[in-house]
């Protein structure tokens, strides 16, 4: 892959033909949407929304995860971008986008193996392990492929609940100034399912969140003097 040639093409074709647009961008950004998607190279926000530069503020990480406010490990990289998007850029929408054939979600299904092989990835995706456990417990007869698809969808919707653990998100959502939705993008077919915060999955998410709170309270030892 000749990346140098790609940037020359950007300069000579894209930039040259749209110079006014790019020069206007230097004045600042006013994105309407915060997109939280998987790092997977096939999940491209600008393509999905048919958007231009300046429209979408983005966070990409393995398995499109938003850390919960109350959990002991902090991941300020993700949260700082959410904070900036909501409090400074005043985005109208936060979209969490899960997708089919997600390597991160598949890895959650064999977490112990990943913790050894890819320790940073293992630690990161462990945030969603209660979703995987819930599926095993609730659907013992479901085949593994369907369990992974269910995990990919539930994991996307779960992140809306995780977003709501931050006061600055919840207040904006409750006042009607912020639209929160989870998408599930099926890569092969191009179809996109849309789930609201209060979706068909909300009872499941409530139960998963309860299990998660129990798990994290067990993992955090009481502090002793
Ligand atoms: Zn993925």
The answer to whether the predicted template modeling score (pTM) of the entire model surpasses 0.85 is: yes
> Quick count: other Cβ atoms within 10 Å of Cβ 201?
21
User: What ranges in the chain are assigned the alpha helix state H?
Assistant: 3-9, 16-17, 19-25, 45-49, 76-83, 103-108, 111-117, 119-125, 129-138, 144-163, 167-174, 202-219
Q: Evaluate whether 164 touches 70 at the Cβ level (below 8 Å).
A: no
Q: How far is the CA of 35 from the centre of ligand 1 (A)?
A: 14
Judged against a pLDDT cut of 50, whether residue 225 lies above it is answered with no
Element at 59 (helix H, strand E): strand 56-61
- For the segment 184-201, the average pLDDT, to the nearest whole number, is 94
Q: How far is the CA of 73 from the centre of ligand 1 (A)?
A: 22
Judged against a pLDDT cut of 70, whether residue 220 lies above it is answered with no
H helix and E strand count, the chain: 12, 5
d(CA 71, CA 219): 10
Q: How far is the CA of 66 from the centre of ligand 1 (A)?
A: 14
The residues placing their C-beta within 5 Å of ligand 1, an ion, are: 38, 40, 102, 104
* Residue-wise burial string across 176-199, b where 16 or more C-beta atoms lie within 10 A, e elsewhere: eebbbbbbbbeeeeeeeeebebeb
Q: How far is the CA of 94 from the centre of ligand 1 (A)?
A: 18
Judged against a pLDDT cut of 70, whether residue 222 lies above it is answered with no
Q: How far is the CA of 142 from the centre of ligand 1 (A)?
A: 21
The phi-psi region of residue 121 (left if phi > 0; otherwise alpha if psi is between -120 and 50; otherwise beta) is: alpha
Domain positions in the chain are 30-215
- For the segment 168-186, the average pLDDT, to the nearest whole number, is 98
Q: How far is the CA of 198 from the centre of ligand 1 (A)?
A: 23
> Quick count: other Cβ atoms within 10 Å of Cβ 62?
18
Judged against a pLDDT cut of 90, whether residue 221 lies above it is answered with no
Q: Evaluate whether 35 touches 95 at the Cβ level (below 8 Å).
A: yes
Judged against a pLDDT cut of 60, whether residue 224 lies above it is answered with no
**30-215 belongs to which homologous superfamily?**
Carbonic anhydrase (3.40.1050.10)
What is the rounded (10 degree) CA torsion for 77, 194, 33, 43? 60
Q: How far is the CA of 51 from the centre of ligand 1 (A)?
A: 21
What percent of the chain stands above pLDDT 70?
A: 96
Q: How far is the CA of 148 from the centre of ligand 1 (A)?
A: 11
Q: How far is the CA of 150 from the centre of ligand 1 (A)?
A: 13
Q: How far is the CA of 107 from the centre of ligand 1 (A)?
A: 10
Q: How far is the CA of 19 from the centre of ligand 1 (A)?
A: 34
51-71 tens-digit pLDDT? 999 999 999 999 999 999 988
135-168 tens-digit pLDDT? 999 999 999 999 999 999 999 999 999 999 999 9
- For the segment 180-202, the average pLDDT, to the nearest whole number, is 95
């Amino acid at each position: 892959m000749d990346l140098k040639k790609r940037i020359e093409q950007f300069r000579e074709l894209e930039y040259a033909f749209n110079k006014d647009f790019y020069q206007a961008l230097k004045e600042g950004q006013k994105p309407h949407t915060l997109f939280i998607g998987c790092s997977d190279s096939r999940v491209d926000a600008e393509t999905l929304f048919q958007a231009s530069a300046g429209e979408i503020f983005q966070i990409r990480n393995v398995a499109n995860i938003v850390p919960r406010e109350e959990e002991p490990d902090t991941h300020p990289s993700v949260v700082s971008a959410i904070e900036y998007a909501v409090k400074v850029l005043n985005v109208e929408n936060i979209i969490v986008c899960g997708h089919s054939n997600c390597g991160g979600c598949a890895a959650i299904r064999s977490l112990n193996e990943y913790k050894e092989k890819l320790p940073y990835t293992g630690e990161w995706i462990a945030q969603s392990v209660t979703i995987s456990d819930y599926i095993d417990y609730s659907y013992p007869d479901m085949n593994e492929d369907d369990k992974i698809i269910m995990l990919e969808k539930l994991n996307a919707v779960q992140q809306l609940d995780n977003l709501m653990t931050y006061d600055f998100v919840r207040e904006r959502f409750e006042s009607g100034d912020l639209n929160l939705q989870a998408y599930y993008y099926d890569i092969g077919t191009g179809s996109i399912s849309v789930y609201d915060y209060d979706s068909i999955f909300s009872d499941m998410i409530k139960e998963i969140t309860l299990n998660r709170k129990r798990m994290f309270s067990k993992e955090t030892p009481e502090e002793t003097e």
